[in-house]
Amino acid sequence: MPALDPGGPARLLARPSVRAALAALDRAGEETRLVGGCVRDALLGLDAADIDLATTLLPDAVIARGREAGLKAIPTGIDHGTITLIAAGEPVEVTTLREDVETDGRHAVVRFGRDFAKDAERRDFTVNALALAADGRLHDTTGGADDLAAGRVRFIGDAATRIREDALRILRFFRFHARFGDGPPDRAALAACVAARGAIATLSRERVRSEFLKLLTAPGAHGAVETLSATGLLARIIGGVGEVGRLSRAIDAGAPAIARLAALAVATREDAERLRENLRLSKAEHAALDGYARALVALRTREHVAADAMRALVAEHGTAAIGGALSAITGEPRPRVTPAGIMAWKALEQGAAPVLPVSGADLVARGVPPGPRIGRALAAARRLWLADGCPTDPEVAEALIAQVLASEAVDERRDNP
């Protein structure tokens, strides 16, 4: 279980941006507190990337007081009561307290309020509902500190209701459990997530992508994904079956998020294309998955991989793709990487991928006319070079050019008898 840091809240309050924002807002009959993730992280001894404040002040008053104190005030979400103050060069989000006027369990009508406890009740998990006053007092009306110390992630109030308010909380529950949880997931929360699994299909694919990639880099990602798989939730996220064992090996290798997604969910180029659509991946992310798929197929079609083959594979597919595929299939029966292949990989991993030592300019200088013949000749040179294990000796280029020119001459005599 994580040990809470008693000095964390004081360090948070001492941050120049926090001091400046609280000095501007927390006075004259109004109160402003640090809330949410920054307080949670402070209790864990972590430096929060984002600073959030909740206040009894109305948005216009936040702007006015911020500007009086010389802070830049930006109405980033004024319709929802959120103003961003730039304090000590750092953005600080300030949101007016809110409370539910009425709710049908799916949509809530809200108004600005002055009750910090009611505002906390509208949040998702107890560990995200902590508040820290300017005087250093921790306000915890939902039991979040005890849950944080116990490594327990719980919904506030009724889990099913919280999920009906926003189905993305299904993924957020697993992400937060993967980051802060210790032991099995909270039973009530897990049951509510499974019962609401159909709602995942209603979510924006971009939101799903963001949450799932964050989940994959959390410390407890392997266990969380195992649970997602066992409950059928994973298939609804990635649109297919996951290779949890391969994900585990990618995690052990320290792979980045997109490589972990590849190990988990990609076996073919069709899988990469499906994920591009299902998760609205960027071009670069899809290219990484497609490259992994190509590399995986190239490796899996071989019985064994020796040094020459390893150099050819890296030259053809790149270090990142081959490295990701190798990490994912380590220990599987096929292919067997020989000791020489392992040594070759280690050398390649530390350097650059082999590059064909022949260029179009080299061929033009030898008399090959510019145009389609250059492309054909380069392709022929590359095939020969790959088949020979991508040698890098100085004489390689001349030997390749000689072979290509000889082949070109044969082809010309055949075409022009």
Q: In this predicted model, what pLDDT tens digit does every residue of 314-347 receive, in sequence order?
A: 999 999 999 999 999 999 999 999 999 999 999 9
Q: Residue 377's pLDDT band (boundaries 50, 70, 90)? A: confident
Mode of pairing for the β-strands spanning 51-55 and 90-96: parallel
Closest CA to 88 of 21, 13, 14: 21
How many angstroms separate the CA atoms of 92 and 278, rounded? 34
Same domain, 269 and 281: yes
What are the tens digits of pLDDT across the range 130-143? Answer: 999 999 999 999 99
What does the pLDDT read at residue 413? Answer: 47
Q: How far does CA 2 lie from the centroid of its chain?
A: 23
How many angstroms separate the CA atoms of 149 and 78, rounded? 35
How many angstroms separate the CA atoms of 323 and 353, rounded? 12
Task: Tell which of 303, 325, 354 closes a domain.
Answer: 354
What does the pLDDT read at residue 343? Answer: 94
| Domains in the chain, number | 4
Report residue 402 as tokens. Answer: 């000689």
For the ranges 257-271, 298-312, 364-378, the lowest mean pLDDT is seen at 364-378
CB neighbour class for 121 (10 Å; exposed up to 12, middle 13-18, buried from 19): middle
What is this structure's pTM?
Answer: 0.88
Same domain, 43 and 129: yes
Contact (CB, 8 A) for 37 and 129: no
Q: Which residue has the tokens 């560990």?
A: 127
Task: Tell which of 339, 354, 369 closes a domain.
Answer: 354
Task: Tell which of 106, 137, 152 closes a domain.
Answer: 152
Report residue 312 as tokens. Answer: 């050819």
List C-alpha distances in Å: 292 to 195, 251, 282, 304, 334.
Answer: 34, 16, 15, 19, 16
List C-alpha distances in Å: 93 to 9, 50, 82, 88, 98.
Answer: 18, 8, 7, 13, 15
E-state strands within 51-120: 51-55, 72-77, 82-87, 90-96, 98-103, 108-112
What are the tens digits of pLDDT across the range 14-61? Answer: 999 999 999 999 887 899 999 999 999 999 999 999 999 999 999 999
What are the tens digits of pLDDT across the range 134-191? Answer: 999 999 999 999 999 999 999 999 999 999 999 999 999 999 999 999 999 999 999 9
Average pLDDT of the segment spanning 101-113? 59
Same domain, 147 and 178: no
Q: CATH no. for residue 75?
A: 3.30.460.10
Average pLDDT of the segment spanning 272-281? 96
Contacts (Cβ under 8 Å, ≥6 apart) of 9: 39, 42, 43, 132, 136, 138
Same domain, 215 and 281: no
Q: Which domain holds residue 125?
A: 1-152
Same domain, 174 and 140: no
What does the pLDDT read at residue 110? Answer: 63
3-state helix, strand, coil in the chain (%, to 5): 55, 10, 30
Same domain, 311 and 228: no
Closest CA to 195 of 167, 172, 218, 219: 167
Contact (CB, 8 A) for 386 and 312: yes
Same domain, 220 and 209: yes
Most confident stretch, 105-119, 265-279, 380-394: 265-279
Question: What is the overall mean pLDDT for the chain?
Answer: 92
Contact (CB, 8 A) for 250 and 324: yes
Contact (CB, 8 A) for 133 and 33: yes
